[in-house]
Structure 1
Amino acid sequence: MAKGSRSQIKRERNAQKDTRPSAKLSYAHVSVQKACFVLDAIRGKDVETALGIVAYNPRYASTLIEKLLKSAIANAENNNGMHAENLYVAACYADKGPTMKRIRPRAQGRAYRIEKRMSHITIVLDEKK
């Protein structure tokens, strides 16, 4: 059961909130598997190295992740007062989003289903100690 007033409950919940800078891209038109290939390459790296990796990665997801990484760096500098040279990719993951279902006509009146998958990509940065 809830204890205290609504403002007290919100204050307690916000005290437990993660204060690390992050950026999230919702409904990205790329599957989770394809996004994870790029995310696995940058996890744990400092931001300069991570930007270099995604800039020269030929995958389509790397263009989305590069933009998202730059957004997370800007959030860290503007909202948290951190310096870009001290940042590294603490966590990055892709969650499953909704799937658009389409129909492909096939021979003899059949129809095959095409699934256009989406994902929610999140990048969390942190400062080196």
Structure 2
Amino acid sequence: MEAKKGYKAVAKNLPMSPTKIRPIANNLRKRPVVEAVAILETLPNKGAGFLKKVIESATANALFQNSKLDEEMLYIKELLVDGGPIQKRIWPRSRGKADRLLKRSSHISVVVDEIGNTGE
């Protein structure tokens, strides 16, 4: 019998480097959803807004798929921040030279599950 994975939400091609989002995400893993959203609302970072939106989407998916769940009983089971496609641009420099400008993007995936659910 396969263990239940939880309720998932994914945001792709977000216009921000994953190295800027990961430190925020590292503080949210294994926390209750309500506590994580409260933390994200107080942070001024652009990445915090992206994370909050994906966590709220995963929570809404969980509540939609299982009406018996309570938002207070959900926690962040899995939170991944991966690199997305990189846009390469030219950055003009002095004396006719050029550097390469890499515009990085991110993929965020969140899995929420019920507190006390061991996947049986």
TM > 0.5 fold call: yes
Partner in structure 2 of residue 25 of structure 1: 11
Partner in structure 2 of residue 100 of structure 1: 87
Higher alpha-carbon Rg: 1
CA deviations over 1:39-79 (Å, ceiling 9, x no partner): 11111110111001111111110011111111111000001
Q: Find 1:77's aligned residue among 63, 69, 72.
A: 63
Say which structure, 1 or 2, has more relative contact order (CA 8 Å, 6+ apart). 2
Equivalent residue runs for 1:10-89 within 5 Å:
16=2, 19-81=5-67, 82-89=69-76
Q: Quote how far apart the aligned CAs of 1:18 are.
A: 5.1
Q: Please, what is the CA RMSD of the aligned residues?
A: 1.5
Any gaps of 5 or more consecutive residues in structure 2?
A: none
Structure 1 residues 116, 17: CA separation in 2 closer, same or farther (over 3 Å shift)? farther
CA deviations over 1:11-37 (Å, ceiling 9, x no partner): xxxx85854101100101111111111
Q: Quote how far apart the aligned CAs of 1:97 are.
A: 0.7
SS in 1 for 2:84: strand
Matched AA of 1:127:
E
Indicate if the aligned counterparts of 1:76 and 1:83 stay in contact, CA closer than 8 A: no
Q: Quote how far apart the aligned CAs of 1:123 are.
A: 0.8
* TM-score, normalization by structure 1: 0.83
Any gaps of 5 or more consecutive residues in structure 1?
A: 1-14
Quick check: which one's helix share is greater? 1
Partner in structure 1 of residue 115 of structure 2: 128
* TM-score, normalization by structure 2: 0.89
Structure 1 residues 109, 16: CA separation in 2 closer, same or farther (over 3 Å shift)? farther
SS in 2 for 1:42: coil
CA deviations over 1:71-121 (Å, ceiling 9, x no partner): 111000001332111000111011111100111111111001110101110
Percent identity, aligned pairs only?
32
